[in-house]
Structure 1
Amino acid sequence: MKTSFSHAKISAMAMVVPQNRYNIDDELHTRYQGDIKKLNRIKKSVGLQYKYIVDEETSVSDLAEYGANILFNEYGLDKNTIDAIVVITQTPDFFIPATACYLHGKLDLPQTTLAFDINQSCAGFVYGLYTLFSMIENGGCKRILMVCGDTSSKSATEKMHEKNKFKTNITGDGVSISLLEYTQEKMQSFFELGNDGKSVKYLFKPFGAFKNPKPHEFDEPEWYNTEPKESYMNGLEIFNFATQKEPEAFESILEYAKCKKEDLDYIFLHQANKSIVDTIIKKLKLDPLKTPNDTITKYGNVNGATIPATICDTLDTATNPLSKKLKVELGGFGAGLSWANAILELDQNFWCKQTQIYKKDL
């Protein structure tokens, strides 16, 4: 599916990670049982060094509330002007109601502000932009707060990996908060999104919701042996999907937007794994200086929030304002199996702040 918009933009952005930082080096004699070669192999291929993990009490809404207050207090956003708040996550605070509804109350937003969730993961940031740009373009909303991120460590996966030392959990926790706005000035954006539902079996969480799948329903070995709340992933299939589909989608969005890759100021890709992004960079012959690839090293795989985390850390316009308008490409891919790409502009007034550490007591 392809579409374009002319009067919607990202105006501001903040990224928040929890306080608890873990260094993979500290796991040498626990998870890696003293195997320094394996530890170094993980650091080199996956790119993992640090990850930030929430405690038992902290949830997506807590991180999002902290980030929203950065926009209110530092960017100067008036909460009474927000027409909608949307949360894109696969780790909601509750099954009922939507996390956006709960966050709406925590932020004391007007009752005229609509609220809903979108269940998306690694492609969620771009899926969210497409959905909310549509709402802005049709005139229904002028200002929308978009939250994107997860607290994936709160699932049983982390606990299971503590028992299975041969597994490496690269997931980190983090949430982004973006202000999307109507702009009278023409700012062209282009989107292409897709999904391969027949490949759901390669990355999914089979148990814990309201379906109880049987062994014959997915012809994929081992998935049925996963524990409740634990995710199943066929790593090779996901690697192949990402390194084949994203280059195809990148070339397609360039053609649709009538844009050359040399015209892009930055390419911000989902950073699930350093090797995946390095492979995509090599296949597409991208400029590594325009394609940052160190987010997983600093924060682990923060799912849909890797793209905004990379934007915030690369640009940090709160400290270094832009000197010109930027043209950027965004590429997300993951569970679904879903993919989403966009080419859009960040105007000279775009505001973002380097990734912030959540401070619970403030």
Structure 2
Amino acid sequence: MQASFGHVRLSHVLTIVPQNLINIDNELNTRYKGDAKKLSQIKKNVGLQYRYEADQETTASDLGEYGAKILFDEFQIDKNSLDAIIVCTQTPDFFMPPTACYLHGKLNLNEKTLAFDINQSCAGYVYGLYIIYSMIENGSCKKILFICGDTWSKFYNPVNKPNLGGDGVSISLIEYSQKEYKSYFDLGSNGKGLKYLFMPFGAFRNTNLKTMEEPEILNKNIKEKQVYMNGLEIFNFATRKEPMAFLQLLKYANCDQNELDYCFFHQANKAIVDMIINRLQIDHDKAPLSINKYGNLGAASIPATLCDTINSHEFPLQKTLKIVLGSFGAGLSWANALISLDTNFICKKVQIYQKEKK
């Protein structure tokens, strides 16, 4: 699927992470059971050093609500001007209603403001932008709030499984623009690869693992609300598909790679991103990493890297930037976008969630 848009702009991006900062060196004798070699390999290959982890009471919606209030208060955004609130998360508060509806009430939004969720994982930020750009381009909406992210730590067994994921949520505002900003999207899916990255238990499919044609999964002792991943298959998928999709996008947009200011790739792990960068021969300075600071934030990893790189709130942009957002993950799904950030674009450095005292 390819699509282009002309009168939509990404105007604000914030990212919120929980308070609990974890240095994985301090987990050597707990999570890594004294295996210094394994810890060293994770630091080298995955690129992980720090991550933020939410407590048991804090959910993705809490982080999203906190960030939305910063957006409304600090940047004088009239919440009654929102046409929709859309949430992309794999860690909702409830099976129903959608987390967007829950936040609609928590934020006291107008009854005319649409609210719905997108059930998408690591490619969710770009998928969400595609849906939002479509809604605005067709004239039905002018301003949409997009909240995207997860508390991944709740998916993992804290003793038996190393946790490479971090917790965090992005808050983005997308608006109609009278000025033309050409944006291009290239998205795709291969549902036959579902078995390589999924959560077997916790919903309503009575999963028989023996029918999944994945011998490895039978030995993993996967429990409810835990993720199974065939790491080699996902590595091969990401490093094969993402460079192809990236080049397809540039061809569709008639854009030379040298015209790009930045490429923000999903922070799955350092080895995957490095291989993608090397295969595309992208300058490493144009493809920043953030996994060492936050872990794999899933769908929020792209906006977090954006916030970590471009703090235009304190240092306003001096020119319009042309950037590519490249994502890939469970589904199997992938999505790339070529968009522009104008000199009025606001992006704050990553913020720490301040939990309200009861």
Q: TM-score interval w.r.t. the shorter chain?
A: over 0.9
TM-score by length of 2: 0.97
- Could you say what secondary structure the match of 1:158 adopts? coil
TM-score by length of 1: 0.96
Alignment-mate amino acid for residue 199 of structure 1: G
Aligned to 2:230: 234
CA contact (8 A) 1:47 1:274 kept: yes
Does residue 310 (structure 1) correspond to residue 305 (structure 2)? The answer is yes
What is the distance in 1 between the residues matched to 2:82 and 2:198? 34
Alignment-mate amino acid for residue 122 of structure 1: C
Does residue 169 (structure 1) correspond to residue 163 (structure 2)? The answer is yes
What is the distance in 1 between the residues matched to 2:36 and 2:152? 27
Aligned to 2:276: 280
Aligned to 1:158: 157
What is the distance in 2 between the residues matched to 1:77 and 1:158? 40
- Could you say what secondary structure the match of 2:130 adopts? helix
- Could you say what secondary structure the match of 2:93 adopts? coil
Alignment-mate amino acid for residue 123 of structure 2: A
Summarize deviations over 1:302-352 as a string: whole Å, max 9, x none: 100000001111001111000010100000000000000010111110001
Aligned to 1:220: 214
What is the distance in 1 between the residues matched to 2:30 and 2:103? 38
Q: How far did 1:216 drift?
A: 4.3
What is the distance in 2 between the residues matched to 1:43 and 1:9? 37
What is the distance in 2 between the residues matched to 1:276 and 1:222? 22
Alignment-mate amino acid for residue 143 of structure 1: K
What is the distance in 1 between the residues matched to 2:152 and 2:183? 31
Q: Which range moves more in the overlay, 213-222 or 280-289?
A: 213-222
Does residue 247 (structure 1) correspond to residue 243 (structure 2)? The answer is yes
How is 1:137-216 mapped onto 2 (pairs within 5 angstroms)?
137-155=137-155, 157-159=156-158, 162=159, 164=160, 167-216=161-210
Q: Which range moves more in the overlay, 22-31 or 234-243?
A: 22-31
Aligned to 2:23: 23
Does residue 256 (structure 1) correspond to residue 252 (structure 2)? The answer is yes
What is the distance in 2 between the residues matched to 1:223 and 1:107? 41
What is the distance in 2 between the residues matched to 1:115 and 1:335? 24
What is the distance in 2 between the residues matched to 1:23 and 1:258? 43
- Could you say what secondary structure the match of 1:328 adopts? strand
What is the distance in 1 between the residues matched to 2:269 and 2:301? 11
Aligned to 1:103: 103
Aligned to 2:82: 82
Summarize deviations over 1:182-241 as a string: whole Å, max 9, x none: 001111000000001000000000110011122343111133541111111000000000
- Could you say what secondary structure the match of 1:222 adopts? helix
Q: 2:333 aligned to 335, 338, 347, which one?
A: 338
What is the distance in 2 between the residues matched to 1:314 and 1:241? 27
- Could you say what secondary structure the match of 2:74 adopts? helix
Give ranges in structure 2 of 5+ residues lacking alignment: none
CA contact (8 A) 1:170 1:300 kept: yes
What is the distance in 2 between the residues matched to 1:272 and 1:262? 25
Aligned to 1:267: 263
Aligned residues, how many? 355
Summarize deviations over 1:21-65 as a string: whole Å, max 9, x none: 111000122233333332222111100011111111111111001
What is the distance in 2 between the residues matched to 1:33 and 1:92? 31
- Could you say what secondary structure the match of 2:238 adopts? helix
Does residue 353 (structure 1) correspond to residue 352 (structure 2)? The answer is no
CA contact (8 A) 1:8 1:182 kept: yes
What is the distance in 2 between the residues matched to 1:39 and 1:201? 27
How many percent of aligned residue pairs carry the same amino acid? 61
